[in-house]
Structure 1
Amino acid sequence: MDNWINGTFRKLHLDYHQPVWMKNVAGAFTEEEARRQAAMFKQAGIQAVEFFAYDHYGHAFYPSRIAPVHPELQQDYTGLMAQALREEGIRTILYLNAFTSVHMAEKHPEWLRVLEDGTMARGAWLQHDASQLCISSAYLEEYYLPLLQEAVQRYQPDGIWIDGGSWTVEYPCYCQNCRSLYQADTGMDLPKGPMPGPDEELDRPEWVQWRLWRRGQIFPYVSQLIAAIKGVSPHTLVAENNLGKYLYGIPLMKKGRLVRWLTPRELGLDWLSCDPVHFGANHEMIFSREGRYQATTGLPYDYMNERFHGWGEWQMRSHTDWKLEMATVLAVGARGFFADQPYPDGRLEPAVYQELSKVNEFVKERETFSVGAAVVPEVAVLASLPSQLLGPTAGAEWGRDKHWGALPKSRTDRVDGTSLVLTEMGVQHLIYDEATLRENLGRQSLVIIPDQCLMEEETIVLLEQYVEHGGRLIVTGRSGLWDEQGVRRPEDPFARLLGLKRGEELPAPLHYWQAGTGLARTMEFGEIKLQVWGTALATMLAGAKELAKVIEPVEDVWRSSGRERSDWQHYTTVGAAPSGSRAAASAVTLHTLGQGQAMYMNGDLFALYYLEGHRLIREWLSCCMEQSYPSASRLIQVQKPLHVEMVMNERMTGAGREILVHFLNYFAQKRPGYVIHNEEMIPVEGIRCSVRTDVKPDSILLQPEGQVLKWTWDSAASTAIVHLPRLELHAIVQLVLNR
């Protein structure tokens, strides 16, 4: 079956949640208004529209026989929109919420999620108690799946987009359904609360067991969704909001036991889709790093950006913002999905679509260079799925003032920080889960494992073979010390590969890294000791070469020789203590194994960079990268400012192949808050890139302008050196390589 999502770059989502007290719902949405809106969408270049059938409050927007229709619904909103869109030749996608409703407390209280104290939970962000449905209950089979089938049979949509589903299945439920099912699957009672924090979780096996079991309910739920939809309309494509992201891994469970972690392509979805920027935040960063993962999944994928500053309002951002976001989406191989919100009576703002038409014209000029293209692998960043969900968070775990820094800590900071620093350095990279990395190891020039605490044995074995056959590897921190179920391994699984053995955690919450003479010589400030917050480990060398040492803080910071956490004394305003003189472990090592090399970095440096953006951390990471994978060996080298992003794509053509190098400008205004705006783009001049190819290009063009660029060919290095004279917002350098 042809997946039409691949060729659909300009979708629209209409967000239409209506509380029960709202009056005149769809009151202005007559047949004439529906046709006017559909014509407006067509004129704005929109190819597919997602519209509501069933919302977070549990209201249907059509005459449903199963779900309560909104009490103030004046028109068949869903039906009129479906008909008008088809008349204009626009694809239709139905939106249905899954696990929230304000009506079930009265009708089926036995289906609701129950807290440990016996009260019933609020669903998602609803301001209503007793509005969260439990995945363990009969709700799916008796209510929701029939509702899905009713909507699909009635409107025969091209796609279904499920929201409020998998991303709500995360927190404990103590309903009788969960108690019985958990006991049947595991033979145990539900663990008693409170739920432990992330830094204690791996020491509480009963909670690890519960979390695996709970997330294991998601795959059967998704399978039921897909079967129900395909059973009545095989051609309808299915997406489930936020599934398929590296931070939302799904385990396959059998009778309470982990079988394996599922890759996104095993979930059975037709495409991956998410609204990843909920309340402002940084669209370009989020689209970039999530796209660099979903590019490896083998599925089509899209991301929503929106007209407003945050969901649930009617503000309008600059179309320059929208263009940069859409350009980022295209660069990482995704498709666009713009979000708007109708007024309660169903009307829309025409001015939004006048602006959106400019954005979609911009996209249309560029999307032709995305058809058939894929992001090129070179450097792999491992995002172990269990490591995003279990284990300690990144960065400083204690000792530092808790108010330091603007961002809350997360396990994903390690992967996010790796992608950020590689983007700033202009290093071509993708993000892989373990199973996908194992399948693609032979295509990687360097693999980075940024403190992925939980890893599968098979991955470690194959990485060892990869290095022995000439691969390059960087491992940081506590990577692999636990297995994929959160069980601590008795021995260091990377000992042979790294040429050292990692031991116990060092007692202090921060240390200093002191570069050896050779490494220091490569740095501008190599004589400065690098302050590194977070856990460091004792090390014992067994063949590795030490490039830098871990220096403990001054001894006086401890109240006693016991050096327990309670003995730590707060030193400066935010808790730092100066460096002492005692070398406690190796900070950076390099080990040759077979034909390849493995580097170890004893800390959480990538996460610290994400949280702090410190230039000295970037200098250390850049110099260590140069030791592991010299820039002269890379597929592409770029001279650019830090804020410019580069993404390299490739596609086959009838005459040969093309390399498509995307450059994205980024110049956010100064803001004290969370919302990021890129409205006034400052042009960048003098960007240069050197691309290694197997043959000399026939031509190199700037697209979509079709302008011939100046370039030279270094035959000895088999490298095309291209000069990009000026970057406004987005540029594509197209290297045409005919046979």
Structure 2
Amino acid sequence: MNFRQVHLDFHTSEKIPGIGSRFSKAQFQKALKTGHVNSITVFSKCHHGWAYHPSQANEIHPGLDFDLLGAQIEAAHEIGVKTPVYLSAGFDEKMALRHPEWLVVGKDGGKLVPPDFTSPGYHLFCFNSPYLDYLLAQIEEVVEHYDADGIFLDIVGVRQCHCQYCTRTLLEEGKNPLDDKSVLELGERVYANYTKKVRETIDRIKPGLPVFHNGGHIQRGRRDLAFMDSHLELESLPTGGWGYDHFPLSARYVQQLGMDYLGMTGKFHGTWGEFGGFKHPNALRYEVSLAAANGAKSSIGDQMHPQGEMDMATYQLIGAAYQELQEKEEWLDNVKPVADIALFSCQAYSCFMDKTQQEINPYSDPGAVRMFLEGKYLYDVVDGESNFDHYKIVILPDCERINPALKEKLDAFLQKGGKILASGKSGLYADKDAFAFDFGAEYLRESPYSPCYFRPDFEMEGLFRTAYVLYGQAEMVSLACGASLGRQEVPYFNRTAEHFCSHQHAPDSGEAAGPGMTEGKDGVYIGWEVFSEYARHGALIAKRMVQHALDLLLGEGKTLETSLGAQGVATLMEQEGRFVNHLLYAVPVKRGGGVEVIEDITPVHDVAVRLRLPKTIKRVYLAPQRTEIPFTQKDGAVEFKVEEICCHQMVVLEY
């Protein structure tokens, strides 16, 4: 899979004439060269349903009079650029108007999405309808007649559908079409059948041709869904609603699956379909570097003008990022991450407990990853199938109760010297309110007060010894054979019409309600949903509580320590014969209605790094500059200083 890809959208209304009228092989090639692009996803079929080539299985766009797809493939291949081919699978608005009976139907009878035909937008197709055969014929035609380097199928996933075909299937199977579990189980089978049929269709012509089914997100804990793809493309446009925390969370999960993966961002200020929208080159430089630091290749989204002319400003923008990436590729391929901590993803936990269950808490995973990034902890995001053995800490964030299978897995991890950090109701048995592990405490009940206060028994950088409010549900515990790391205190009263004080909650009464944070033989317990708390409120106390727990449990075993500030990102990858330490720094700021924007890249200087490594290091140098830098190594710890980081700096440690 190539490092420098462009995803070239081309969703074009039939109301627009002159499609491709300004396409030029030379201009297309010039854009790709300017952008340092070595792979570009080009369109066979768009969301409007039209083909961009002569077609027997579909209909060519009424405004197009030549083979645009073939011309793009020929132009790209001539200069050594690969061409995966895109087909809109879930949307086909042309056919939605002709065959509305093929659409996904919601439980209330609405056609999804949007619910009717009075608003602009696309409608979703059911793969349990005759539409599937229609789509497969289009895929077959492209694979047979074009030199595609892969197939990209969009707008797919497991659907809960109540169309006539799904309802009939359930009735024939003797199942209740109004039972949500049965409907979802059918949706799982329908999606699996679709991916199987696609694979069979392609393999009859070009066995092994790469295929990716895009649903906008790789669900943590659903390896079965991921393995239906040949590789993974992590759609994650920071300004398009995903934010800058989504990609590190997604990447640190998929990197363990043994598949090639890339990070997909966009050139847009906002999101897909934004003509005339551009982000600052520094933003793309950072996003591409963030992908590299997490072991991923890159894809940048663009949308071609209906007349087929490539926008050169876009490819100058892309080239600013991809020229740098091209110089770095030597140190980016075939790497594996180094991590101390395993975050047992809350989303993956939901799948582990019940494949059909919705994610219990959507805030816990992002809150945890934000803490790790800011605290410079090396982490992976894991699921119930992951091997925990090589981690030092497993984190159970906020809501993960323990069933027998998880208990057995974590007991084995503890026996090998690992530790657990749990918060909220995590660590309690699934079937009773008692801890499954020794956190030095006994669980009592939920606190009747909201919010409660935490008074730490430890020093915290930037904070002082006092009582700090935490807004989430507090859990009450008593101290058993462990140590208290701080106590819970309650307000004078809950806020009601009869009892209220000032603008928000009542102040701390000073009355102790038992430990708020404890340490036992198996690890540390925190009596609030601190990870969700940090995602929702961003209060420093939540992060400091977790950082103290992690530092306590890691002791001298923390692999990476650095003076790089909170907005920096640090990762460590191992490549054959060397480690590669990635250091990034940029500060997203919120503009407009909350869009995170990177404009300025402020260099940071004299960044100290300390790495505990199992190898004797022979040489340390900056990449791609190849400038050697001085280092010391003593008792397994390598120390060096980076004079300047301007967006992204790699430090290579050869052994």
TM-score (norm 2): 0.91
Cα drift, residue 475 of structure 1: 1.2
Partner of 1:19: 13
Cα drift, residue 51 of structure 1: 0.7
Structure 1's 709 and 386: CA in aligned 2 closer, same or farther, altered over 3 A? Answer: closer
- CA distance in structure 1 between the aligned counterparts of 2:171 and 2:126, rounded to whole angstroms: 16
1:145-294 equivalences under 5 Å are 145-166=136-157, 169-170=158-159, 172-183=160-171, 187-191=175-179, 207=180, 210-211=183-184, 214-215=187-188, 217-242=190-215, 245-246=218-219, 249-250=221-222, 262-263=223-224, 267-277=227-237, 279-281=239-241, 284-294=244-254
1:22-421 equivalences under 5 Å are 22-29=16-23, 33-122=24-113, 127-128=119-120, 131-140=123-132, 142-166=133-157, 169-170=158-159, 172-183=160-171, 187-191=175-179, 207=180, 210-211=183-184, 214-215=187-188, 217-242=190-215, 245-246=218-219, 249-250=221-222, 262-263=223-224, 267-277=227-237, 279-281=239-241, 284-310=244-270, 311-313=272-274, 314-387=276-349, 411-421=361-371
- CA distance in structure 2 between the aligned counterparts of 1:455 and 1:211, rounded to whole angstroms: 25
Partner of 1:460: 407
Residue 240 of structure 2 aligns with an amino acid whose one-letter code is G
Cα drift, residue 236 of structure 1: 1.3
Cα drift, residue 721 of structure 1: 0.8
**Where does the alignment leave 5 or more consecutive residues of structure 1 unmatched?**
192-206, 251-261, 392-408, 483-488, 560-567
Residue 633 of structure 1 pairs with residue 633 of structure 2: no
Conservation of the 8 A alpha-carbon contact between 1:122 and 1:128: no
Cα drift, residue 550 of structure 1: 2.9
Match of 1:645 among 569, 577, 580: 569
Conservation of the 8 A alpha-carbon contact between 1:383 and 1:432: yes
Conservation of the 8 A alpha-carbon contact between 1:121 and 1:129: no
Conservation of the 8 A alpha-carbon contact between 2:443 and 2:477: yes
- CA distance in structure 2 between the aligned counterparts of 1:469 and 1:346, rounded to whole angstroms: 60
Conservation of the 8 A alpha-carbon contact between 1:387 and 1:411: no
- CA distance in structure 2 between the aligned counterparts of 1:411 and 1:478, rounded to whole angstroms: 12
Structure 1's 292 and 477: CA in aligned 2 closer, same or farther, altered over 3 A? Answer: same
- CA distance in structure 1 between the aligned counterparts of 2:186 and 2:500, rounded to whole angstroms: 41
Query: Could you say what secondary structure the match of 1:358 adopts?
Result: helix
- CA distance in structure 2 between the aligned counterparts of 1:651 and 1:52, rounded to whole angstroms: 36
Partner of 2:356: none
Match of 1:624 among 549, 560, 569: 549
Cα drift, residue 432 of structure 1: 1.2
- CA distance in structure 2 between the aligned counterparts of 1:58 and 1:535, rounded to whole angstroms: 49
Cα drift, residue 699 of structure 1: 1.1
Q: Give per-residue Cα distances to partners, 1:95-138, cap 9 Å, x unaligned.
A: 11111122334433321122344342325999457822123323
- CA distance in structure 2 between the aligned counterparts of 1:446 and 1:463, rounded to whole angstroms: 11
Structure 1's 224 and 383: CA in aligned 2 closer, same or farther, altered over 3 A? Answer: farther
Structure 1's 432 and 569: CA in aligned 2 closer, same or farther, altered over 3 A? Answer: farther
Residue 9 of structure 1 pairs with residue 9 of structure 2: no
Residue 590 of structure 1 pairs with residue 519 of structure 2: yes
Structure 1's 556 and 315: CA in aligned 2 closer, same or farther, altered over 3 A? Answer: closer
Residue 330 of structure 2 aligns with an amino acid whose one-letter code is T
Residue 451 of structure 1 aligns with an amino acid whose one-letter code is D
- CA distance in structure 2 between the aligned counterparts of 1:472 and 1:682, rounded to whole angstroms: 38
Residue 710 of structure 1 pairs with residue 651 of structure 2: no
Structure 1's 147 and 230: CA in aligned 2 closer, same or farther, altered over 3 A? Answer: same
Structure 1's 629 and 701: CA in aligned 2 closer, same or farther, altered over 3 A? Answer: same
Conservation of the 8 A alpha-carbon contact between 1:53 and 1:62: yes
Cα drift, residue 537 of structure 1: 3.0
Farther off after superposition, 496-505 or 59-68: 496-505
Cα drift, residue 345 of structure 1: 1.0
Cα drift, residue 263 of structure 1: 4.9
Match of 1:728 among 640, 646, 654: 646
Query: Could you say what secondary structure the match of 2:58 adopts?
Result: coil
Residue 428 of structure 1 pairs with residue 352 of structure 2: no
Match of 2:508 among 549, 569, 579: 579
Structure 1's 350 and 95: CA in aligned 2 closer, same or farther, altered over 3 A? Answer: same
**Where does the alignment leave 5 or more consecutive residues of structure 2 unmatched?**
354-358
- CA distance in structure 1 between the aligned counterparts of 2:255 and 2:116, rounded to whole angstroms: 30
Farther off after superposition, 65-74 or 10-19: 65-74
Structure 1's 94 and 586: CA in aligned 2 closer, same or farther, altered over 3 A? Answer: same
- CA distance in structure 1 between the aligned counterparts of 2:500 and 2:88, rounded to whole angstroms: 49
Residue 9 of structure 1 aligns with an amino acid whose one-letter code is F
Partner of 1:667: 587
Residue 277 of structure 2 aligns with an amino acid whose one-letter code is Q
Q: Give per-residue Cα distances to partners, 1:432-465, cap 9 Å, x unaligned.
A: 12212xx2x1110111111243666423321122
Conservation of the 8 A alpha-carbon contact between 1:39 and 1:88: no
Query: Could you say what secondary structure the match of 1:354 adopts?
Result: helix
Residue 495 of structure 1 pairs with residue 457 of structure 2: no
Query: Could you say what secondary structure the match of 1:434 adopts?
Result: coil
Residue 615 of structure 1 pairs with residue 546 of structure 2: no
- CA distance in structure 1 between the aligned counterparts of 2:494 and 2:83, rounded to whole angstroms: 68
Conservation of the 8 A alpha-carbon contact between 1:665 and 1:729: yes
Count, aligned residues? 647
Match of 2:466 among 508, 528, 547: 528
Query: Could you say what secondary structure the match of 2:93 adopts?
Result: coil
Structure 1's 501 and 145: CA in aligned 2 closer, same or farther, altered over 3 A? Answer: farther
Q: Give per-residue Cα distances to partners, 1:13-33, cap 9 Å, x unaligned.
A: 11100123222222222xxx1
Cα drift, residue 480 of structure 1: 6.3
Cα RMSD (Å) of the superposition?
A: 2.9
Q: Give per-residue Cα distances to partners, 1:65-114, cap 9 Å, x unaligned.
A: 12233222232221211222222222110011111122334433321122
- CA distance in structure 2 between the aligned counterparts of 1:412 and 1:148, rounded to whole angstroms: 36
Partner of 1:257: none
Cα drift, residue 282 of structure 1: 6.6
- CA distance in structure 2 between the aligned counterparts of 1:304 and 1:114, rounded to whole angstroms: 30
Structure 1's 158 and 418: CA in aligned 2 closer, same or farther, altered over 3 A? Answer: same
Partner of 2:448: 507
Cα drift, residue 583 of structure 1: 4.0
1:534-549 equivalences under 5 Å are 534-539=472-477, 542-549=480-487
Match of 1:473 among 420, 430, 434: 420
Q: Give per-residue Cα distances to partners, 1:617-640, cap 9 Å, x unaligned.
A: 22222222222222x321121122
Structure 1's 618 and 427: CA in aligned 2 closer, same or farther, altered over 3 A? Answer: same
Query: Could you say what secondary structure the match of 2:305 adopts?
Result: coil
